[in-house]
Amino acid sequence: MAVDRIQIERLSKSYGSLQILKDIDISVPQGCFVALVGPSGCGKSTLLRTIAGLEQITGGTLRIDGQVVNDVPPRKRDVAMVFQSYALYPHMNIEKNMSYSMRLRRAAPHAIRESIDSVSRTLGLDHLLARMPRQLSGGQRQRVAMGRAIVRNPKVFLFDEPLSNLDAALRVHMRTEIRKLHQRLGATSVYVTHDQIEAMTMADHVVVLRAGQVEQQGAPLVLYHRPANRFVAGFIGSPAMNFIEAVVGPDGHSAHFGGASGQTLALGRSLPAGTEVWIGLRPEHLRLQRGAGGLRGVVDVVESTGSMSFVTVKLDGVAAPVLVAQAGVCAIESGEALGLDIASEHVHVFDRKSERAL
How many whole angstroms separate alpha carbon 156 and alpha carbon 267? 44
Nearest of 4, 101, 7 to residue 51 by alpha carbon: 7
How many H helices and E strands in the chain?
8, 20
Q: How many CA atoms lie within 13 A of 156 on its CB side?
A: 27
Give the per-residue pLDDT at 33. Answer: 97
Q: What angle do CA 201, 340, 343 make, to 5 degrees?
A: 60
Taking a C-beta distance cutoff of 8 angstroms, is the pair 225, 209 a contact?
A: no
Q: Which pLDDT score is estimated for 294?
A: 82
The Cα 244–Cα 260 span in angstroms is 15
Q: What is the pLDDT of residue 105?
A: 86
Half-sphere exposure of 242 (CA within 13 A, CB side): 25
Contact indicator for 253, 270 with CB cutoff of 8 Å: yes
Cis peptide before 239 (omega within 30 of 0): yes
pLDDT attached to residue 258: 85
Given a contact cutoff of 8 angstroms between Cβ atoms, the answer to whether 17 and 188 are in contact is no
Sketch out the chain's domains with CATH numbers: 4-235 (3.40.50.300), 242-351 (2.40.50.140)
Question: Alpha helix locations (H) across the chain?
Answer: 44-52, 94-104, 109-122, 138-150, 168-185, 196-202, 220-225, 230-235
State how far the Cα of 206 lies from the Cα of 237, in Å rounded to an integer.
13
Give the residue from 2, 163, 156, 177 showing the smallest Cα distance to 79.
156
Which pLDDT score, from 0 to 100, does residue 2 have? Answer: 60
- Pair type for strands 59-64 and 188-193: unpaired
Give long-range contacts, CB 8 A cutoff, 24+ apart: 115-123: 115/151, 116/151, 119/147, 119/150, 119/151, 120/94, 120/95, 120/147, 122/150, 122/181, 122/184, 123/147, 123/150, 123/181
The confidence score (pLDDT) of residue 278 equals 98
Report how far residue 268's alpha carbon sits from residue 343's, in angstroms, rounded to the nearest whole number: 9
Position 256 scores a pLDDT of 95
- Rounded to an integer, what distance in angstroms lies between the CA atom of residue 234 and that of residue 282? 9
> Do residues 101 and 178 touch, judged by C-beta distance below 8 A?
no
- Written as tens digits, the pLDDT of the chain (358 aa) is 567 899 999 999 999 999 999 999 999 999 999 999 999 999 999 999 999 999 999 999 999 999 999 999 998 999 999 988 888 999 999 999 999 988 988 889 999 999 999 999 888 899 999 999 999 998 899 889 989 998 888 999 999 998 888 888 888 888 888 898 899 888 899 999 999 999 999 999 999 999 999 999 999 999 999 999 999 999 999 999 999 999 999 999 999 998 867 899 999 999 999 999 999 999 999 999 987 678 999 999 999 999 999 999 999 999 999 999 999 998 899 999 999 999 999 999 999 999 999 9
CA–CA gap between residue 213 and residue 207 (Å, rounded): 10
